[in-house]
Amino acid sequence: MAILRRGNKYWIDFTFNGSRCRRSSPDNSHAGAKIYEACLRRKLARGEEIAVNLNKKKDIIPTFGEFAKDWFEKYVKSNNKYSEILNKESLLRAHLNPYFGKKQLDKISNLDIESYKAAKLQAGQSRKSVNNHLIALNKCLKTAQDWEIIDKIPKVKLLKVAPQRFDYLSIEECETLLDHCNGVLKEMVMVAIKTGLRFGELIALRWQDIDFSGNLITVQNSIVRGEMGSPKSNKSRYIHLSSVLFQMLNVKAKKTGFIFSQNGIDPLNPTLCLGWLHEACNGAEMRRIGWHTLRHTFASHLAQKGIPIMAIKELLGHADIKTTMRYAHLSTSITENAIDIIDKDIGHNMVTVPVFEDRKTAIIIPV
């Protein structure tokens, strides 16, 4: 196609006498791009020069390391959350730059990427970790293509990853754990089990996020590595305030400030909170768990009660239903009902079929 749209910009892209002409339209609309394309074609047909030479390439294609530095400063820092910026900085420094850094962007091939995958797996990296590397690599190369530094990029194929295993507490374990918690820790554990909030969302929860008249919690902030930002999905979500949480929180409600705070002003320290949780686990003589286990507990109990997966997805704030599907196997009521239905339709009268003890009387049906 001659007219393309990338992001919020319209581009014209066509070939004339074997040379490629590609540039953004000065009039950022589909109609404007068509007029611009027609104008360029007329000029070329008359033998006129246009502002930029056809199919012009830079004299020197930058190396991956050179471009990655520019990409990080101009794209990553502008478009990613603080935690994602730190993750990409770490990936570039520890993994991608040491391997691809000295290679020109247009020289990175499918074989190079497959070799990288093999090397990282052999070095002991998990398949999930290697996929995180590949996602960042692909985004970096795709940006280079969008910025017209290279014409094409190699295909980045992710590794197949086995379904992620997770731990969760039974109802009895929840009760045992709560019996060995007190103060702020008990309140935090109760909210986590009853709402499925991520730990960063839990410590970022403020009194103005609670609507006691409507029994509603608005999840709109998260604290990761000391920085306040949006939730992982980059969108707010709403969770019903159960009667248990209403009674627990309403008696200490304030107009503003963090709900869980050690000094009444600042959010809690993650390391401190994990230590409290481990102490409670030791006191309850149960395995040590992390805060994310309580999120898994919330989702697992909902699935076991037959709550639809899509409803669980919305409550957890997952961007992709595939993430929520890890809990699907716990929802046995749906599959059991399905089996019961088919059982009623087929073979329900098997009990009335006579049993032949004498094999000679059996009917043989030719094949």
List the CATH code of the domain at 171-327: 1.10.443.10
Per-residue confidence band for 103, with pLDDT thresholds at 50, 70 and 90: very high
> How does 290-300 read in b/e, with b if 16+ C-beta sit within 10 Å?
ebebbbbbbbb
Per-residue confidence band for 288, with pLDDT thresholds at 50, 70 and 90: very high
**217-261, pLDDT tens digit by residue?**
999 999 988 889 888 878 899 999 999 999 999 999 999 999 998
The four Cα atoms 29, 33, 34, 40 give a dihedral, to 10 degrees, of 160
**Angle (CA) 241 242 248, round 5°:** 90
Lowest mean pLDDT: which of 91-100, 301-310, 318-327, 353-362?
353-362
The sign of the torsion formed by the CA atoms of 74, 76, 80, 82 equals: negative
Contact 10/4 with Cβ under 8 angstroms?
A: yes
- Average pLDDT of span 156-164: 89
Strand partners, 220: none
The pTM (predicted TM-score) of the whole model is: 0.68
Q: What is the pLDDT of residue 58?
A: 44
- Check if CATH label 1.20.58.340 holds for domain 64-146: no
Q: What is the pLDDT of residue 335?
A: 58
**42-92, pLDDT tens digit by residue?**
888 887 776 544 444 444 789 999 999 999 999 999 999 888 999 999 999
Kind plus residue range of the DSSP H or E element containing 57: none
Instruction: Output the average pLDDT for the chain.
Output: 86
The region that residue 196 occupies, defined by phi over 0 for left and psi between -120 and 50 for alpha, beta otherwise, is left
Residues of the chain with CATH 1.10.150.130: 64-146
* 52 vs 339 pLDDT, higher one: 339
Per-residue confidence band for 344, with pLDDT thresholds at 50, 70 and 90: low
Please name the residue that has the structure tokens 């094999």: 359
Residues of the chain with CATH 1.10.443.10: 171-327
Kind plus residue range of the DSSP H or E element containing 338: helix 332-345
* 19 vs 78 pLDDT, higher one: 78
Lowest mean pLDDT: which of 95-109, 216-230, 308-322, 344-358?
344-358
